[in-house]
Chains A and B, each alone.
Chain A
C-alpha cells in the first residue's frame, strides 16, 4: 500500500511539474516479486506552439513534427509492445496502463479535418509516414483495421476546438517489435541515448524483457484555455527485466544448470543425499547493479535537463526503506528520499558514469505493490474451422467498489461476431452488467467490427463476457505467407470509467492478450495440382478439336482410284503442279 501511495504521489508530482521546463527525463526502478525489476523510462520535451507553428524545432524532433503538421494531427499516441503484464504477480500497471499498448503496434490520433473522409485520408498519410519513421509496418493499418472509438479514449491535451477533431484508432497485433523500432525511438530523444538515463536503453536487454512497452504521446498542453500552449511530447519505455536472466553475460547467455554446490538443498528431507537435492527457495532479494542489468553503464546526466529542483533527479528507485542501495560514481550526485522513504531519487553527475549497486539481501518486509483495479483475460473457445466463441473473464478484486468500465473490441472482418449471442454474466448477481453497447458491424474486405461496451462489475465478482463468431473463408490470395499460423485478433482495450479516477487526464487502462484465430486454410499446393490437371484436360480436348477443325475430310469415293507407285508419283506431280500453278 505504501508503495502504491508513493507511486501515486510520484505521478502527481510529475503531473504538476508539467510545462515548467523544456526537457525532463526520469527512470523509475521498481523491484517486483520473483526477482524481476520494472524500469520505467520517461522522457518529456516541450515546444511552444508558436515555435511549433513556425517549424522552429528545438527539443521536439523535426521529423515527427513535420509529419504531424502535414497530417493535421493534433494529438498522437503510438505504442510498441511485446509480452504481457503479469498483474497477479506484478500488481498495478505502470502509469495505470495509460502508456501501455496492445501487443504489436497500436496507434490512435486526433486528426483535424472537416469531414470523415478527409480525416481518413489524413490518417492514411499519417500511418504511412510513421511507418517510414519507425521502421514498422504501420502502413498496413488500412480501413479494415481502423476504428473510431466512442467511449474508450478521451483526448489528453487541451484542444481549442474539438468539433472538427476525429479520433482514429488502429492496431497491428502481429507486428514484431524489435531493435529496428528502438533505434528511431532513441533518435527522437534530445540526448539520443548517448547521455542521461536513455544511455541504459539497449536493444538486447529491452527485447529480452518479460514485458516491454514503448510509447510516444504528443499533445498540446495549455496553461489556460488557448493561451501559453506548448506541444508536449512524451516518450515512455516500460520494461520488466528478469534479474537473473539479465545478469547473464552477453557472450554466455545459456542458463546452464548451476553447480550443485551453489544450490541450497533441503537437508531435512529424508532422502537427502549427495546426489539428491530438493532445492530450497532462498527468499533473498537478488544482488544487481545498473550496468549488469542493463548491459551498459549509465553515462551521467543529459545536459539538457534542469540543473536544480526535483525535475533534475533523473533516476529514482521505489522499494522498501530497508533495502541497501549504494551509488557508485566518480562524479557528484545527490540522493533525496520522499514518500516515507520508499522513493529514493538521484541527481545524476554530468559526464561521469553512475551506477547503483544493490547487494543480495533478505528482506523482512515484503515488497508491496499496488492492487490492480481489474484483472482481465480473454481466450477463444471451441474448435473447428467454422465457428468459435470468445470468452473474456474480468475480475474485480475490490471488496467494496463496483467498477464501471468500457470494453473495446476491434475485430478483423473475417471474424464475424454474432451480436445476439453476446452474454455478460456476473458471478454474484443476476443484474445485467451490460449498460451500453456501441456496435458497428464489419463489411467484408472493407472494415472490421467495432464493438464497444459499457459494463459495471459489482465488488468481488467475476464478469464473463462471451460471444460466438463465424470464421469467414478467405480468397486464396488473401492469406499471409505463414497462413497456417492463424490470424491475430487484437487485444481488447478496457478503460476504467469509475469510481477510480486518474490524477491526470491519461485515464486508467488495461489490455487483454491478443487471440490467435485459425481460419480454414487451403492446401496451397492444390492450385498447382489443379492447374496441371486442367492443362492436361485442355490439351487433350484442344488436340482433338484442332485435329477435327484443320483436317480435310474426303469421301472414300472421292479419292482418285490411282494406286501403287504410279499413283504416288502422280500425286506428287500434281501437288507440285498446284503449288507452281498458284505461284
Chain B
C-alpha cells in the first residue's frame, strides 16, 4: 500500500513529466540495440525442418542421362522462341508441353498501371497425379524474363524438361502445374489471381484448366543462353508481397536439398559471399528487413504468398561448376518432398528473419524491437496528453508556506494564469504575509485539510480543433496516394518534384495560416502532437505484427517526431524544422534512391505497379500513416516560427 501511495503521490510530482523524452529515447535505443544483438549465436537459432513429412533429401534423384540431351534441345527451342510474338510463342510452348502428354492452357492478361500497358500471355500445363483426385496441386514455374530483365532460357527449358520427366513417375499424390509466365511478377500474379477467381475478367482471362488447392510453388530463374553456363550458388528468394514470408520449412527444405544433397551452396538477400561472421549476418538481416519493409514483389513466387501458398524462387548466381542437371535434381528432390506433404505447410515459422541460409531469428525474439520503437510514440503521446491538462508552468511547490521569490513568480505567470496573478497582485499589500498561495479548506469524515487552490484547478482541454486537424491531416494523405497511383508515367517525375516542394512548404503555410487566427493555442498544438503520435504508435505496433520490418523502418524514420516540441522561434525551432524537412517521406524516398543509385522514376513506376497488380500496401503506410504523422509534427514545430 505504501508503494502504491508513493506512486500516486509521484503522479503529482512535476518531475514526472520530465521523464518521458528520456524514456522514449531509451526505448528507441534499446529497440535498435536489440536488433543489433540478434545476429549473435545467443539470440538466433539454427534452422531445422519441422514438418516430418517433408523428409528433405531422402530420395535418390534420377534426372540425368538422356534427360540432359533433351534439356539442351529444349534450351535451343526456348532460345528460338523468346523473341516471337506472344501468340506464336505460346503455341510453341503449348506444343512442347502437349508432347509430354500434359493438359495445356493459356491465359492472356493486360494491366495498365500508370498509363503503361503490360500485357502478355501465360502458358501452363497440368500433370494430373496418377492417383490424385484433383484436390491438391503444386506449381513449378519459370518466367520468360528474370527479375533482372534477362531472358530465362535455361529456367524455362528446365521446366519443360522436368515436365516431360515428371510425367513418367507414378508416385505423384498431387497434381503438378507447370507455369511459364510472360514476365516475372505480373504474369504469375495474373495467373494466381485467376486461379482463385480474384481477377478482373475484363482484362485478365479466366483459367480454362484448374486443379486443386495449391500447396506450394517453386520458381526457377536460370538465365543461361543456349550454350549453357555453369553457376556457383543458388540464390533463394523468399520475400512475398507486403513482406509476407513463406513457411520456413519450404526454405529449409530447399537449402537442405541444395546444400546437403546436391552440394550446391545457398545464399540469400544478394549476399554472394557470406562468411558467417557477425557483420555479414547483420548485413543479411538488414537487407532482408529492407526488402520486407519495402513490401515489393521479389520474384515470380511473391504473388503466391498472399494466397497462403508457400513459394520460393531459386536463382542461379555466379560462375562455378554446377550445371543445369544439378538444379533439375534439386527441383526434383524438392518436389518429391512437397509431394510427401499430407497437410498444408503449417508446422514451422511464418515470421522470421534469416541471417544466413541455416540461421534465423524467430518472431518472439525480434518482435520486441519494433514494439519498443512503436511504444516510444505512445509514451510521448501520453506524456503530451498529461502535459496538455496542466498549467503551462506549474508552480514548483504550490503548497509551500514560504513566499515564492517575486521574480520567479512573475516569470511563471502566463496567460492562463492571469486570474491568479491578479489575485496575487491584490494581495501584495501585505508583503509579510507568509502564505502566498490561496488555499481551500476541505472537511471530510471529520478530517480537515488545507489544499492549495492550484492543485484543485481543472484545466479544460479543447478537443475539437486538435481532433479535426489530425483527422484532416490523415485524409489529406489520400490525395498523394491516389495521385501517385494514377498519374501516367510521363508525368510521374514532375509530380514527384511538385509533391516534394508542396510537402515541405505545406506545414509552413498551414502554420502561418493558423497563426493568423491566433490558433492553435499552445495547449491545442500539444494535443495535435499528442493525437498524431498516439495514432502513429498504434498503427506501428499493429503493423509490427504484420510487417515487422516496415514498422521498424517507419518507426525509426519518424522517431524525431517524439522529441520535437513547439518552440518560441529562434534557432532551435528552425533546426528542428530543418530536421523534419530532411526526414519527410518524399525527401526520404528521394535521398534513398540517390544513395542506392536507383532511378527515382523506376521506384515510382514500380510502386504504382505494386499498387495495381501485386496488391502492395506500402504506399498506404507511407501516405496514410507516415506522412500525416510527419505533417502534424511539422506543423506543431512550424507554429513556433510564427
Contact = CB atoms under 8 A, between A and B. Distances in A.
A484 B128 contact: no
Nearest to A245: B170
B196 interface: yes
Interface in A486-537: 486, 488, 513-516, 518, 521
Nearest to B308: A383
B170 A258 contact: no
A379 interface: yes
Interface stretch (A13-21, A79-87, A142-150, A321-329): A79-87
A157 B484 CA distance: 72
A84 B126 CA distance: 14
A271 B73 contact: yes
B459 interface: no
B134 A513 contact: yes
Given A260-B69, A271-B73, A83 B132 contact: yes
Interface in B194-221: 196-198, 210-213
A208 interface: yes
B307 interface: yes
A244 B130 CA distance: 13
A278 interface: yes
Given A269-B73, A279-B70, A482-B343, A257 B65 contact: yes
A312 B198 CA distance: 58
B344 interface: yes
A258 B164 CA distance: 13
B342 interface: yes
Interface in B115-135: 128, 130-135
A383 B196 contact: yes
B590 interface: no
Given A257-B67, A263-B66, A484-B344, A210 B130 contact: yes
A516 B213 CA distance: 7
B346 A516 contact: no
Given A257-B67, A275-B69, A483 B196 contact: no
B134 A242 contact: no
A485 B342 contact: yes
B306 to A, nearest CB: 8
B474 to A, nearest CB: 28
A377 B207 CA distance: 12
A63 interface: no
B66 A260 contact: yes
Interface in B342-374: 342-344, 346
Nearest to A212: B131
Contacts of A482: 342-343
A259 B72 contact: no
Interface in B221-236: 226
Contacts of B130: 83, 208-210, 242, 245
A437 interface: no
Nearest to B169: A255
B521 interface: no
A518 B210 CA distance: 17
B128 A84 contact: yes
Contacts of A405: none
A515 B133 CA distance: 9
Given A257-B62, A257-B65, A516-B136, A277 B346 contact: no
A259 B65 CA distance: 7
Contacts, number: 132
Contacts of B132: 83
B198 A383 contact: yes
B568 interface: no
A86 B128 contact: yes
B103 interface: yes
Contact of A380 (B66, B69, B165, B213): B213
Nearest to B196: A383
B454 interface: no
A421 interface: no
Contacts of B133: 82-84, 103, 173, 513-514
A372 to B, nearest CB: 15
Contacts of B67: 257
Contacts of A380: 213
Interface string B62-79: 111111111011101100
A131 B130 CA distance: 26
A132 interface: no
B510 to A, nearest CB: 41
B66 A515 contact: no
A514 B197 CA distance: 18
A516 B341 CA distance: 15
Contacts of A255: 62, 168-169
Contacts of A260: 65-66, 69
B69 A515 contact: no
Contacts of B170: 208, 242, 245, 253
A88 B66 contact: no
B99 interface: yes
A256 interface: yes
A276 B346 CA distance: 42
Contacts of A515: 135, 212
A381 interface: yes
B495 interface: no
A254 B62 contact: yes
B101 interface: yes
Interface of A: 34, 82-84, 86, 88, 103, 173, 207-210, 242, 244-245, 253-260, 262-263, 265-266, 269-273, 275-279, 281, 377, 379-383, 389, 391, 482-486, 488, 513-516, 518, 521
The 3 closest A-B pairs by CB, nearest first: A381-B197, A484-B343, A516-B135
Interface of B: 62-70, 72-74, 76-77, 99, 101, 103, 128, 130-136, 164-165, 168-170, 196-198, 210-213, 226, 307-308, 342-344, 346
Given A260-B69, A262-B66, A514-B135, 11 more contacts: A83-B133, A86-B128, A209-B131, A210-B131, A244-B168, A254-B62, A255-B169, A258-B66, A273-B72, A383-B308, A515-B212
20 contacts: A34-B101, A83-B130, A207-B131, A242-B130, A256-B62, A257-B65, A260-B69, A263-B69, A265-B69, A275-B69, A276-B76, A277-B72, A278-B74, A279-B99, A383-B307, A484-B343, A485-B342, A485-B344, A516-B213, A521-B346
